[in-house]
Structure 1
């Protein structure tokens, strides 16, 4: 049963973590993040930014506490005046110009009140950009036949959320959702939000979503960031599923606390 559950969670992880191009590792931030939140009152915006920083520290990414740091995570709550989500961006939007065509299409076609994307730098084995200009490619030799020759670094992430859709949700829920959509390249939930495990990614699909990041969510982010920079996606998916199953096993073993 546990092996079957591990396989189920592995396949689910593959659906929600956007797959990298062939022979590339899953992208992640290499440096502490600096979040900026727009479209809310200053107090609410800072509360969400601070929780994102707390999440990043707790999950091993780190956060830049300098108030003058250059934002690497943008969370924007879009007012009704901006129109429906399908009007926020187009294939020609400069915000998406760095994305490959298939990635732009994925962002534009998301069926939720959210649009999210990451800016990714592909680097060679020595940390240098793999593409110089538009036509020159660096082709370093890997250390072995099993080592990927590149690393992929998230250098910036953005998530746009319809402010109307956020009404009734807590600041903690919104911050944890933004954490999951920016610290790694996650997609909207498949199958209209039906999920084999609780996840904050269901925030805008589930009538009764989690109050915060779940054990699965934390296992997903922590295992990705615990992995070496050039770990293969297959290894990362396996590690996430194994950690999630272990978390479920531990939860079942904990005695129930009697209600007062």
Structure 2
């Protein structure tokens, strides 16, 4: 074995051709474990066998209550995120289905919506949070309050009769997918302008994007969360919170938008892990998961 002997004589170490590959695989496994552990803390507790609410039509963003240039900045940033997750671009003069509203009296505005703009608040059966809970959050002066309206549909369109009961008209059957899907029809993020003084436009846009496109948990215990997320904006404060969408935020949104229309909640973890792996490939990254400092 002359080659080995030569290496020993010169004091050189034989290079480990697999070391880097093993390290990357190890980092990915750690990242997957961290993602799965934190996913349940950050996303809404949808029943395992319910379908995931999300947009299927292009996102049409409208920002209300900001200066024109700020509105354009926020709109463009949210639109980029929507395109990144796979939604088609909206057409000019589209009808808004994603509202970002900034106002100094969100509680008063909400009460006016209930009487004058009921379509924005929606009926209880279509909304993902009850009216009394929204009122409680507004009364507590949360810096941001969000809600979503969605319907239950299948390939033949809406499937609710006049009494609110589901009419099954699809012949599709699957143990991992539902006969139905739940398209969002309208998503709203309502900001309290008196509590966002030091928040950047990028943070406002990215925080809104996760709520508009996804279904994050309404009350998150960030002490139990190891990964950074823009969702911590109003818990950590704008200086300490991430300045933009994090690895987790991007993987979560990318994951749910790669699932089929009727995918059940139980498939979300696998989809998010796949979304994270795709990030690594696209960015030629080592997949080392960033943790909170």
TM-score of the two chains, using structure 2 as the length reference: 0.73
Relative to its length, the structure with more helix (as a share) is 2
Rounded Cα–Cα distance in structure 2 between residues aligned with 1:49 and 1:221: 17
Deviation of 1:114 after TM superposition, in Å, equals 1.1
- Counterpart of 1:217 in structure 2 is 249
SS at match of 1:224: helix
Report whether the alignment pairs 1:252 with 2:288.
yes
- Counterpart of 1:150 in structure 2 is 180
Report whether the alignment pairs 1:63 with 2:89.
yes
Of 128, 144, 147, the residue aligned with 1:114 is 144
Rounded Cα–Cα distance in structure 2 between residues aligned with 1:36 and 1:243: 27
1:219/1:127 CA distance change after superposition, 3 Å: farther
TM-score of the two chains, using structure 1 as the length reference: 0.81
Gaps (5+ residues) in structure 1? Answer: 254-260
Deviation of 1:16 after TM superposition, in Å, equals 2.9
Report whether the alignment pairs 1:52 with 2:81.
no
Report if aligned partners of 1:27, 1:120 keep a CA contact under 8 Å in 2.
yes
SS at match of 1:161: strand
Report whether the alignment pairs 1:78 with 2:103.
yes
Deviations 1:147-173 (Å, cap 9, x if unpaired)?
A: 311111011100001112221111111
Deviations 1:212-234 (Å, cap 9, x if unpaired)?
A: 00111111001110111112211
Of 208, 211, 215, the residue aligned with 1:181 is 211
Structure 1 segment 99-138 matched on structure 2, within 5 A: 99-100=124-125, 103-104=129-130, 105-110=132-137, 112-124=142-154, 126-138=155-167
Structure 1 segment 81-100 matched on structure 2, within 5 A: 82=105, 89=110, 93=114, 94=118, 95-100=120-125
Rounded Cα–Cα distance in structure 2 between residues aligned with 1:246 and 1:137: 36
Deviation of 1:242 after TM superposition, in Å, equals 5.3
Deviations 1:78-118 (Å, cap 9, x if unpaired)?
A: 11xx1xx566546x933434234872155444463111011
Report if aligned partners of 1:118, 1:158 keep a CA contact under 8 Å in 2.
yes
Rounded Cα–Cα distance in structure 2 between residues aligned with 1:205 and 1:34: 28
Report if aligned partners of 1:189, 1:201 keep a CA contact under 8 Å in 2.
no
Rounded Cα–Cα distance in structure 1 between residues aligned with 2:196 and 2:91: 26
Deviations 1:125-146 (Å, cap 9, x if unpaired)?
A: x242121222453124432344
- Counterpart of 2:201 in structure 1 is 171
- Counterpart of 2:8 in structure 1 is none
Residues matched between the structures, number: 246
Of 58, 66, 72, the residue aligned with 1:32 is 58
- Counterpart of 2:268 in structure 1 is 236
Report if aligned partners of 2:45, 2:217 keep a CA contact under 8 Å in 1.
no
Rounded Cα–Cα distance in structure 2 between residues aligned with 1:145 and 1:213: 33
Report if aligned partners of 2:74, 2:205 keep a CA contact under 8 Å in 1.
yes
1:109/1:186 CA distance change after superposition, 3 Å: farther
Q: Which moved more, 1:12-21 or 1:228-237?
A: 12-21
Report if aligned partners of 1:121, 1:154 keep a CA contact under 8 Å in 2.
yes
Alignment RMSD (CA, Å) = 2.9
